[in-house]
Structure 1
Amino acid sequence: MHETGSFSSHGAGSAEPEYDGWAVGAAAEQQTASRSRPGSGYEGEPAAGAPAVVPSPRAEASDGALAASPPEPEADVSRETEDPPLAQEAERAVKVLNPSGEITMPRPTRRRVVCVANQKGGVGKTTTAVNIAVALALHGNRVLVIDLDPQGNASTGLNVPHHVGVPDVYDCLIDGTALADVAQQVDGIPNLSCVPATIDLAGAEIELVSVVARESRLARAIQASSTEYDYIFIDCPPSLGLLTVNALVAAQEVMIPIQCEYYALEGVQALTSNIALVKSHLNPALDITTVLLTMYDRRTRLADLVEQDVRAHFGDKVLHAVIPRNVRVSEAPSYSQSVMTYDPGSRGAISYFEAAQEIAERGARVGGLA
């Protein structure tokens, strides 16, 4: 018992002064830090009855580092003033859909007949024709889309009936029916009409072989139309047959969508050769005015190389707007809609809106031709 008491009293006597001195020093440092940082939340003394909290030297070091770093009010302010992503998407959607009609694209001084052509399939011809037509119609232009592809994809994208028995472009080519008798108004877009294509058009190439002036049948139908349009877009099949030749003879402008892949460039070379032949023999007014890069993937080096080659070859005819790979663009036709109405806030819709705006502005500057 004597040894135990002597050990306790010796331990207490030896450890007590060292502990008290350290605690007093820490408390003094805490009070100093509290005075140097007003409003930091530290209190000079603990609450009554609460155990004294002695901070460790490591905590003091880190606390001092925090005290030394200045606050960043600018970052907080910028986060508060920025619109959230949903608000930004809603703002883009309002610009694309234009429900108030305040946003208008320049109207050309004369009617523009644009042939959307590329002999290679899957490059976005129909998607481009449909979405640019919708964008122009939503912003004050009167637009007609002529579906010259037997697959009828443009008719599907605009939700226009094109089953067997529906009057279509075949009647115009073979029987000489007026465009006004086969054109249908597109639901929900007042300024947009469509001449559909049915499966009957698949045999038109064979039937046109024996028809007089077979290359200019569509051109005559357009010239005889009394309906006023600012734009007429002709969606061509992925070939260079008589249907595409009819479109090239009827148009004054050619728009070429080019997929940002190597094989797409080979198809463009054959197309430009055929356009030159049509221009020299059948339609001297024909010209390539617009080239649009589609399915652009910025993550790949190939897309950049294709873009450089296309811009080097066609120059100013290539639009600044580029259509990216976007799943919304691919989903829209399955709902019989354009991407402009299916998801107006998506990247695909904004890109086509910018392309349509650029086409309209270019045409207004040069008096009708892009």
Structure 2
Amino acid sequence: MGVIISIVNQKGGVAKTTTAINLAAAIGQKGKKVLLVDLDPQGNASTGIGVNKRELKYTTYDVIMGEIRPEEAVISTNFKNVWIIPATQALAEGEIRLTSIKNKTLQLKKALLQIKDKYDIILVDCLPSLGVLALNGITACDRMIIPMQCEPYSLEGVAELLSSVKRVKASTNKGLQIMGIVFTMVNKKLTINKDVQQQIKASFPSELIFKTEIPRNVKISEAPSHGEPITYYDPASSGAEAYKKLAAEVLKKCKEANVML
């Protein structure tokens, strides 16, 4: 049985999708079977990993609406041990339709449970909101990773997210746990980065903060336009090295928690 990990932050521009893509690739390179689920109508995780949206037959929309079996939407990628359920703008319509469905936040969970045993890790790239789609991602997962840019008001955003997590845990996902906060786009030369990191570290237990930090790196920014994860686009870059380390840390946490066979 695999583990479902959702990458969540209701704030945009924190390298959430970038982390989902690159973590999937780096874990796949370590020999684990990974399914990336694009739960954002923008579909950036899909294009960022080389998916041609014009060629898609099924997407996350079809899965979450229960119109197909989830395995019908899974497609292979050009990257070792990585598969994806892609998304398109149609998923925005899905969010509207979900509001009228009973148990609307359980749709993704019901689908992923059907294929959970086929992968070591399922990574869900949630859209930047706390609406019904994002709540599907939080409800479906065993663990959450929260990417965080070191800037003012980051702490307030996390507090709002944790409030939603608490409600989900009390109602529809009692086993939900936060795997950790990962600092992204880090520039150690900026005082504000250091100050925000200190605030976060003072507010959370050390085990909830990843040791690995993702640097601000031009190669990470370039890679999505080439449809490649950074560990393939420029494997020697500081960004690639950081995501390899993050992948190792994620796998270690899974092993320690005994949540992945």
TM range (shorter): over 0.9
- SS of residue in 1 equivalent to 2:210: coil
| 2:122 aligned with 1:257 | no
Residue matched to 2:174 = 284
Shift of 1:287: 1.4
1:201-216 correspondence runs (5 A): 201-216=91-106
Contact 2:66-2:107 at 8 Å conserved across structures? no
2:115 to 225, 248, 256: 225
Q: Counting helix residues as a fraction of each chain, which structure ranks higher?
A: 1
Q: Does residue 125 of the first structure (1) align with residue 16 of the second (2)?
A: yes
Cα distance, 1:252 vs structure 2: 1.1
CA shift for structure 1 position 165: 5.5
Distance across 2 between alignment mates of 1:222 and 1:210:
21
2:183 is aligned with 1:297: no
SS for the counterpart of 1:127 is: helix
Give the Cα–Cα distance (whole angstroms) in 2 for the partners of residues 285 and 279 of structure 1: 7
When normalised by structure 1's length, the TM-score is: 0.68
Report % sequence identity: 37
Query: Does the Cα contact within 8 Å between 1:111 and 1:230 map onto a contact in 2?
Result: yes
Q: How many residues align?
A: 259
Q: Secondary structure at the match of 1:130?
A: helix
Larger Cα-atom Rg: 1
Structure 1 residues 249, 176: CA separation in 2 closer, same or farther (over 3 Å shift)?
farther
When normalised by structure 2's length, the TM-score is 0.95
Task: Report if aligned partners of 2:35, 2:85 keep a CA contact under 8 Å in 1.
Answer: yes
Deviation at 1:156, TM superposition (A): 0.8
Uncovered stretches (5+) of structure 1, i.e. residues with no partner: 1-109
**Equivalent residue number for residue 65 of structure 1:** none
The equivalences for 1:6-17 within 5 A come to none
CA apart distance, 1:161: 2.5
Distance 2:139 2:54 in 1: 27
SS of the residue corresponding to residue 153 of structure 2 reads helix
CA distance in 2, matches of 1:147, 1:161: 14
Instruction: Report the secondary structure of 2:111's partner residue.
Output: helix
Cα RMSD, aligned residues only: 1.4
Structure 2 Cα separation of the partners of residues 140 and 165 of structure 1: 27
Structure number with higher relative contact order (C-alpha < 8 Å, ≥ 6 residues apart):
2
Q: Relative to 1, partners in 2 of residues 1:363 and 1:144: Cα closer, same or farther, differing over 3 Å?
A: same
More strand by share: 2
Q: Which amino acid aligns with 1:207?
A: R
Question: Shift of the alpha carbon at 1:203?
Answer: 1.0
Q: What is the SS of the residue equivalent to 1:238?
A: coil
Deviation, 1:227, is: 5.3
Written as runs of structure 1 = structure 2, the 5 A alignment for 1:15-164 is: 110-163=1-54
Q: Structure 2 unaligned runs (5+)?
A: none
Q: CA deviation at 1:314?
A: 2.2
